Amino acid sequence: MLEIDKEFRKGILFVRISGILNKSNVSYLNKEVTKLVAEMQICNVCFNLEKLKYIDIDGINAILYNYNLCKSVNGVSILCGVNDTIKNRINNSIIKDMLKIKNEIQAINMVEI
């Protein structure tokens, strides 16, 4: 099961993902987040993965797509709260070079509006 909590604050869309992000539910992330980022041309997104239990290649690709959307409008996409359970999966993937920070407060401090 995948749960997504969104909050727009200080020019950043915070996306808190909990549960499992995989092929069977990545369309939910695309509907709830990617569509919003694309249509509203949101520049800055912070994906909080603290409560994410599992991610597969489809989930990784969905996050990468959002990263590229933000980059195309001169914004940033950040990962925060990467827990030990998914750290290896992230570090062995194409999103390993995305900026990783400890928490959402650091994202607010990093992104200049």
Q: At residue 71, does pLDDT exceed 80?
A: yes
Count of the separate structural domains present in the chain: 1
Residue 107 lies in a domain: no
Model-wide pTM > 0.75: yes
Show the domain range for 47.
2-101
Percent share of the chain, pLDDT over 90: 74
The CA dihedral of 21, 27, 30, 35, to the nearest 10 degrees, is: -160
So what's the pLDDT on residue 60? 94
Q: Report the alpha-carbon distance of residue 67 to residue 19 in Å, rounded.
A: 21
Residue 110 lies in a domain: no
Q: Are 17 and 2 in contact (CB under 8 A)?
A: yes
pLDDT at 53: 96
The answer to whether residue 112 sits within a structural domain is no
CATH of the domain at 35: 3.30.750.24
Is 56:23 a contact under the CB 8 Å cutoff? yes
Q: Is the pLDDT of residue 113 over 80?
A: no
- Asked if residue 106 is part of any domain, the answer here is no
